[in-house]
């Protein structure tokens, strides 16, 4: 039972509480490797209907509606900016089928399940069914990182979520427009006319705003430091103007505006998208906490046995049928179809958009729309928890589990990259060496290492490299500026603590030096590229050594005074790349990878197998060198 609060919380304190709990839940989820949406749901229910600490309607009041509207508008704008047609053209055939065929089939199937099983009216079912197309890119990404799927099913799930995110929201917006127009108009002809005008006006405003921004940025009318503020101010202006001219058309306008900017080919697009993603994280967590806290026992009691049957039907019937129809007669193997068919977690966008449209539909006279928000929460919680526990075992059962240890991407083909990658591969850690120059990958090809010929920052790499299987990046090319660019660009995706590069060459003049704030952590004992290349040319190699209680780190240092530690492999194959400033944490059973001076085969054999094997190895080495003396000894 909720505890009665002594008084209303001030709006400022309420905003601070929502922000702290939302971001805190996402941080804790990252720390515990759990889907953030589950923790946000629990936190929102705890401070709202559970403890009665926070009541959005009481503590925020009339501001809550506009806040959620603006937040959803920004979320949909972000979704529009993810829909790049060039990227979709390069995506696999399976992804295109899941979008072109799967979206309408999923919409129809979800709406039918909502109407016939959950008992919703067709207007509510049509709106909510459109939102259910979205499988949740913010949810599927952490699930894929945990499950470590093989490349193709992981790409199918990831790109389906990314592309269908704005499409599902757009479908819900269009269905919502239709419902409002039909309920507001007296005749069918008037309804069709009003809907057509709404779509045309919203589309025109979205395209016009996108074109003005794109041209202004392209012609240098807006300074770089003002581009992000201008985009957000324009977004709010378009949303407000479109809504004022034609009620509820603002969401469609901002979605189309984001879609236009995504396909405008702007040079600053990456920075714009990255900043809006950061803002969206704040807004998504805030909206989710607000909606969860606004739940009450009365609204939650609207969920009955029909809601449970509906969720089961979505997971076991609607999703599998949608995927199977979409991928029928394709080159996707059946086991991959099965994995994708039974994996469809829903995310925060579903709850945010459902919460907004629920209130609007109820205001329009559709009373059963009040159940949309609790139903959305129940569907999200059920799918996230279910797939979080079943995706990895299902992948293993179907033989689609990828590497269980996050791999390492080496950017720049060289002897050092190949040697380091080969040592990691011997420890069963996935590796990939990428370089735009195929000739530089010769050493890697000769050793049978996986390679990618191309720029790791290109759009082609986004589709051709299974980034989800890798957790670290090491830039080792001969170009310091490029290494810095790679480390800086990939740091937000991999985490700055997991991005490394060779130490940059010392510049005599400060105007030639790159800022220290850019790039990744130095590796290989702060050796620069030329120094490292000289070491490799003179026979240095990457070797692995077992550290035990009897033979610890200090003993290893005494035996290898010139060696440079590169990585620690802890029991359980947990990998830790050793930056130049990192402290080593030795423990029994650990494997230490280090760059060491070359040794002849006889000495290596003596350390491995003892004195007798060393003598035999020495004889073999002498034979290879053409020693007649050894030949005589053998003949005697």
Which tens digit of pLDDT belongs to each residue from 65-77? 787 778 878 877 8
DSSP character string of 104-170 = HHHHHHHHHHHHHTS---HHHHHHHHHHTT---HHHHHHHHHHHTB-HHHHHHHHHHHHHHHHHHHH
In which region does residue 589 sit, left (phi positive, over 0), alpha (psi from -120 to 50) or beta (all else)?
Answer: left
The stretch 115-133 carries a mean pLDDT of: 88
Q: Are 37 and 348 in contact (CB under 8 A)?
A: yes
Which tens digit of pLDDT belongs to each residue from 379-424? 888 888 888 788 888 888 888 776 567 789 999 888 889 999 999 9
Answer whether residue 622 shows pLDDT above 50. Answer: no
Dihedrals phi, psi of 185, to nearest 5 degrees = -95, 150
Distance CA 107, CA 114 (A): 11
User: Is the overall model pTM greater than 0.75, yes or no?
Assistant: no
Q: Are 419 and 536 in contact (CB under 8 A)?
A: yes
DSSP character string of 427-488 = TT--EEEEES-GGGGHHHHHTT--EEES-TTSHHHHHHS-GGGEEEEEE--S-HHHHHHHHH
Distance CA 416, CA 592 (A): 17
Answer whether residue 341 shows pLDDT above 70. Answer: yes
Q: Are 577 and 523 in contact (CB under 8 A)?
A: yes
Read off the pLDDT band of 324 (50, 70, 90): very high
Answer whether residue 344 shows pLDDT above 80. Answer: yes
Most confident of 25-39, 106-120, 121-135, 586-600: 106-120
Q: Are 78 and 322 in contact (CB under 8 A)?
A: no
pLDDT value for 605? 41
Distance CA 121, CA 132 (A): 16
Q: Supply the mean pLDDT for the chain.
A: 78
The stretch 430-447 carries a mean pLDDT of: 88
Tell me how long the chain is: 636
Of 67-81, 157-171, 306-320, 505-519, which range is least confident?
Answer: 505-519
In DSSP terms, 595 is beta-bridged to 542, 564
Strands 470-475 and 451-453: unpaired
Which of 493, 429, 480 is closest to 278 using CA atoms? Answer: 493
The stretch 342-368 carries a mean pLDDT of: 81
Residue in the structure block whose two tokens are 């005008």: 197
Distance CA 636, CA 629 (A): 11
Which tens digit of pLDDT belongs to each residue from 34-60? 767 778 888 888 888 888 888 887 888
Distances (CA, A) of 590 to 413, 567, 570, 582: 28, 10, 5, 16
Which tens digit of pLDDT belongs to each residue from 356-372? 788 888 887 888 888 88
Answer whether residue 495 shows pLDDT above 60. Answer: yes
Burial of 130 from C-beta contacts in 10 A (0-12 / 13-18 / 19+)? buried
The stretch 231-252 carries a mean pLDDT of: 81
Angle between helix 36-45 and 11-32 (nearest 10): 140
The stretch 285-297 carries a mean pLDDT of: 79
Burial of 455 from C-beta contacts in 10 A (0-12 / 13-18 / 19+)? middle
Answer whether residue 425 shows pLDDT above 80. Answer: yes
Distance CA 461, CA 482 (A): 16
In DSSP terms, 577 is beta-bridged to 567
Q: Measured in Å, how far apart are the chain's first and last C-alpha atoms?
A: 96
């Amino acid at each position: 039972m909720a505890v009665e609060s002594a008084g209303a919380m001030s709006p400022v304190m309420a905003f601070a509480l929502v922000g702290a709990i939302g971001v805190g839940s996402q941080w804790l989820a990252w720390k515990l490797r759990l889907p953030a949406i589950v923790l946000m749901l629990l936190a929102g229910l705890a401070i709202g209907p559970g403890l009665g600490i926070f009541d959005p309607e009481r503590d925020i009041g009339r501001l809550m509606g506009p806040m959620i509207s603006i937040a959803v508008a920004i979320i949909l704008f972000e979704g529009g900016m993810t829909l790049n047609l060039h990227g979709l053209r390069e995506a696999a055939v399976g992804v295109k089928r899941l979008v072109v065929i799967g979206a309408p089939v999923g919409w129809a199937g979800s709406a039918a399940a909502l109407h016939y099983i959950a008992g919703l009216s067709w207007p509510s079912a049509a709106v909510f069914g459109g939102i259910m197309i979205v499988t949740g890119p913010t949810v599927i990404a952490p699930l894929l990182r945990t499950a470590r799927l093989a490349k193709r099913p992981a790409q199918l799930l990831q790109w389906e979520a990314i592309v269908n995110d704005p499409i599902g929201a757009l479908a819900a917006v269009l269905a919502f427009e239709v419902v409002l127009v039909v309920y507001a108009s007296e005749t069918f002809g008037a309804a069709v006319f009003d809907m057509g005008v709404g779509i045309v006006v919203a589309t025109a405003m979205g395209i016009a705003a996108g074109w003005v921004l794109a041209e202004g940025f392209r012609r240098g009318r807006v300074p770089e430091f003002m581009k992000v503020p201008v985009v957000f101010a324009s977004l709010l202006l378009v949303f407000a103007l479109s809504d004022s001219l034609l009620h509820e058309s603002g969401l469609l306008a901002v979605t189309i505006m984001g879609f236009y900017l995504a396909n405008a080919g702007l040079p600053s697009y990456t920075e714009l998208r990255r900043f809006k993603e950061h803002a969206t994280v704040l807004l998504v967590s805030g909206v989710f906490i607000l909606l969860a806290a606004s739940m009450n026992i009365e609204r939650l009691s609207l969920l009955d046995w029909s809601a449970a049957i509906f969720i089961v039907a979505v997971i076991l019937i609607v999703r599998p049928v949608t995927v199977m129809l979409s991928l029928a007669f394709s080159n996707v193997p059946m086991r991959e179809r099965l994995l994708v068919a039974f994996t469809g977690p829903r995310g925060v966008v579903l709850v945010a958009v459902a919460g907004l449209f629920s209130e609007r539909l109820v205001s329009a006279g559709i009373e059963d729309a009040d159940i949309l928000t609790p139903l959305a929460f129940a569907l999200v919680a059920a799918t996230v928890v279910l797939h979080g526990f079943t995706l990895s075992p299902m992948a293993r059962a179907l033989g689609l589990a990828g590497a269980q240890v996050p791999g390492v991407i080496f950017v720049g083909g060289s002897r050092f990259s190949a040697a380091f990658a080969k040592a990691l591969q011997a420890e069963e850690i996935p590796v990939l060496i990428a370089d735009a120059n195929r000739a530089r990958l010769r050493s890697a090809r000769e050793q049978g290492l996986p390679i990618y010929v191309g720029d790791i920052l290109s759009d082609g790499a986004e589709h051709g490299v299974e980034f989800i299987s890798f957790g670290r990046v090491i830039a080792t090319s001969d170009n310091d500026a490029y290494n810095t660019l790679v480390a800086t660009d990939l740091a937000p995706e991999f985490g700055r603590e997991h991005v490394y590069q060779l130490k940059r060459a010392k510049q005599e003049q400060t105007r030639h030096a790159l800022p220290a704030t850019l790039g990744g952590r130095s590796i290989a004992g702060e050796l620069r590229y030329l120094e490292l290349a000289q070491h490799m040319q003179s026979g240095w190699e990457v070797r692995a050594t077992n550290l035990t209680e009897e033979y610890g780190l200090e003993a290893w240092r005494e035996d290898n005074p010139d060696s440079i530690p590169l990585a620690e492999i802890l029991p359980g194959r947990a990998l830790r790349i050793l930056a130049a400033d990192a402290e080593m944490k030795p423990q029994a059973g650990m494997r230490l990878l280090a760059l060491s001076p070359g040794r002849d085969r006889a000495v290596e054999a003596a350390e491995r197998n003892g004195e007798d094997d060393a003598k035999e190895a020495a004889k073999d080495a002498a034979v290879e060198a053409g020693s007649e003396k050894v030949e005589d000894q053998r003949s005697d």
